[in-house]
Chains A and B, each alone.
Chain A
Amino acid sequence: MSATRRSVLTGAAATSAVFAMPGLVRAQAPQIKIGILQPVTGALAQDGEYGRLGAEIALNEINAAGGIKSMGGAKLQMVFGDARSNPEGGTAEVERMQSEGVAAIVGGFASPICLAASQAASRYDIPYIVDVGVSDQIVNRGLKNTFRLGPGFGTVTTAALDNLVKLNDAAGKPAKTVVIVHEDGLFGSGMAKLMNAELPKRGFEVLETIAHPTPSRDMTNVALRIKALNPDLVIPSSYYGEFVLLARTLQQQKIRPKGIYAVLNGAASNFRFVKEFPEAANLVMDCNHWADPRKPKTATVRASAEKDGRFWLYNTPLNYSCVGLLADAIERAASADKTKVTEALASSTFSDHIMPYGPTKFVNGQNSGAAPVNTQVQSGDIKVIFPTEFADAKPVFPAT
């Protein structure tokens, strides 16, 4: 990890040295500093690293293609900040990025970090592009500098519930009862509350809601409880480690619900899980961010990410797309001035991203076309099953 960071820094230093020298003799395109904020240490470090990877791929690609053409081929230079998996870490890095003179900041990952960091950035009018953070509060505060390319919590959960009903109806309504398993933090509890309110309206009976802490040492009790309740569906909202433990324990205890339907789950659409435990992962469904499999560029980015043994996670395409969005705005603004970049972002129609959204259109900072997709693990691969217009597989439901 440190090796990567160091080589990036060395690379950046070397690049600026090369540019500084001829600058003495002829006018040279300036470097534009871009703040990339990700939690790469602490509890969220895995997500942060995959986010940074996406940003790096995008920056390298843009620079290799000649930089910002409207500014004489100016190169984008990454100023990386480690949010240390908490909001305080995020704001501290925003302050540092401000002192280094960044034109904009991309990232944050977790909602609490995005909330704090975008607010800190707004004090200096630095444009801030949220990569993942789904809390709807992020774009509802009236901050002019904050933009989110991906969908928020409300959009994701509505889509998840609608697609669940579609899925169940299409299969002849085999699922009637549900057990919700959730981690007991803000994310999991919020999700469980919403599910408890919405599922009965859509004809499902919630048998029980089981909370568990993160980290958990053992998920056998949760599995035993599910066994006793024998629900048709299990809806888990947990982070990676706990969901993998649960899926493995369910397999071991021979507990086979008709479906495992996750929403914004840390593992259900994670290739690491699929590769390491193909049997436990098979047919697990998720409603989450995901790159558009139809776009040819998706395969290129995926290949770059997988080149050095990384897995394909949604953080990478989202950050890749967010950096692209920013570069497009700077290109159109023909300036690295923070106010001009913000204006260019607000009027963006950027469509060269690899997410399953149409041309970008920001309404109060939220990209109105952003939507999640439903994925399902099918024989060792992660397939898109909803929305049908770009699904690359049919859902397998019920699983048993």
Chain B
Amino acid sequence: MLKPDIIIAAVANGLLTGAVYALIALGLTLVYGVLHIINFAHGATLTASMFAVFVCHQVFRLDPYVAVFVLTPLFFVLGYLVQRFVIGPASHGNDSNILLVTLGLSIVIENALLATFRSDTRSIDVPYGFSVLEVGPLLLSVPKVVAFVTSFAVAALLGLLLVKTDTGKAIRAVAKEKAGAALVGINVEHVYAITFGIGAACLAIAACLLMPTYLVNPRSGNAFVLVAFTIVVLGGMGSIGGALAGGLIIGVVESLSGLVLGESLGQIGIFLIFILVLLLKPTGLSGARS
């Protein structure tokens, strides 16, 4: 019934979209791996960074692909400060409190955005917004291809950072054994904040990659976070490679089930995977410790 070129186009689109999902899941999985909490403010932070891209474009006439070099460090610093001076102190050393603080933060961020930008849906128009790469019968959206490549590059860089640098080693040490890491002189609070900063920076990059083709309103980040949770569970909590593979798988599943079952019912594919992974392989693809 469906012609093969339509199916191939759907798979390609799924892969391209999945890479951005993976990038959004990276921040979530890293924060989970180190702090052992789910960051409920992830969606709101994504929305905030999408608005930041919007403001950069409207006010400073910065292209999203240029703005990424400003916003990534900015969101890293913001993430660092928020963890160091808001979430950390407010949690009083109790992990379950962190959960509540991030939930509270998400409410504050969303409503601050609502108050500032009102509820209108905004999008930006970039000259390459509609350009496509013709690969055989496929019409690949240029911004999505850029997003795909960048997501992989960011994941690779993050992997290198964790393996090669002292900071990365400290992050992994804290993730494995907090008390031990503190005993050998690692500043756990600092590492927590760095991790949170990296998570926020990943979102800033994702926002810059999304905005040329997507739109933003004070709730738009949430649409991605549920998918990101699924990817984190599928890929294995705290695993970078798992998040990448999970993102691509979810992207393709969503795309194909959307094509076959219709866009509404298509979402069922994602949540079936979510439930099956939890039932059959709770450690996820990477098989790492939970």
> Inter-chain contact count A-B, CB under 8 Å?
100
Instruction: Return the chain B residue nearest A215 by Cβ.
Output: B223
Give the distance to chain A from B220, nearest Cβ to Cβ, in Å: 7
Contacts of B129 in A (CB 8 A): 248
Indicate whether A251 reaches chain B with its CB closer than 8 angstroms. Answer: yes
In the complex, the answer to whether A46 meets B120 with C-beta atoms within 8 Å is yes
Instruction: Return the chain A residue nearest B218 by Cβ.
Output: A45
Size category, A interface:
35 or more
Interchain CA distance A320-B181 in the complex, whole Å: 65
Contacts of B139 in A (CB 8 A): 252-254
Chain A 231-257 interface 0/1 with B at a Cβ cutoff of 8 Å (1 = within): 000000000110011001001111000
Contacts of A45 in B (CB 8 A): 114, 118-119
In the complex, the answer to whether A224 meets B123 with C-beta atoms within 8 Å is no
Indicate whether B183 reaches chain A with its CB closer than 8 angstroms. Answer: no
Chain A 1-29 interface 0/1 with B at a Cβ cutoff of 8 Å (1 = within): 11000000000000000000000000000
Indicate whether A211 reaches chain B with its CB closer than 8 angstroms. Answer: yes
Indicate whether A221 reaches chain B with its CB closer than 8 angstroms. Answer: yes
Chain B 6-24 interface 0/1 with A at a Cβ cutoff of 8 Å (1 = within): 1001100100010000000
Q: Knowing A184-B264, A213-B264, A245-B215 touch, does A46 contact B259 (C-beta < 8 A)?
A: no
Indicate whether A176 reaches chain B with its CB closer than 8 angstroms. Answer: no
Interface residues of A in 301-324 (CB under 8 A from B): none
Interchain CA distance A225-B217 in the complex, whole Å: 27
Instruction: For the complex, count residues of B whose C-beta is within 8 A of A.
Output: 38
Indicate whether A170 reaches chain B with its CB closer than 8 angstroms. Answer: no
Which of A221, A248, A251, A253 is close to B266, meaning CB atoms less than 8 Å apart?
Answer: A221
Indicate whether A41 reaches chain B with its CB closer than 8 angstroms. Answer: yes
Which of B13, B215, B219 is close to A221, meaning CB atoms less than 8 Å apart?
Answer: B13
Contacts of A222 in B (CB 8 A): 258, 263
In the complex, the answer to whether A248 meets B264 with C-beta atoms within 8 Å is no
Give the distance to chain B from A109, nearest Cβ to Cβ, in Å: 13
Residues of A within 8 A of B (CB): 1-2, 40-43, 45-46, 49, 184, 210-213, 215-222, 224-225, 227-228, 240-241, 244-245, 248, 251-254, 272, 276-277, 279
Rank and list the top 3 A-B pairs by shortest CB-CB distance, nearest first: A45-B119, A212-B263, A211-B264
For the complex with contacts A40-B119, A211-B263, A253-B132, 13 further pairs of A-B residues with Cβ separation under 8 Å are A41-B114, A45-B118, A49-B118, A184-B264, A213-B264, A217-B17, A221-B10, A224-B259, A225-B6, A240-B121, A245-B215, A252-B141, A254-B139
**Sample of 16 A–B contacts (CB below 8 Å):** A46-B120, A49-B118, A49-B119, A210-B262, A212-B264, A217-B214, A218-B255, A221-B13, A224-B13, A241-B121, A248-B130, A252-B130, A252-B132, A272-B120, A272-B121, A276-B125
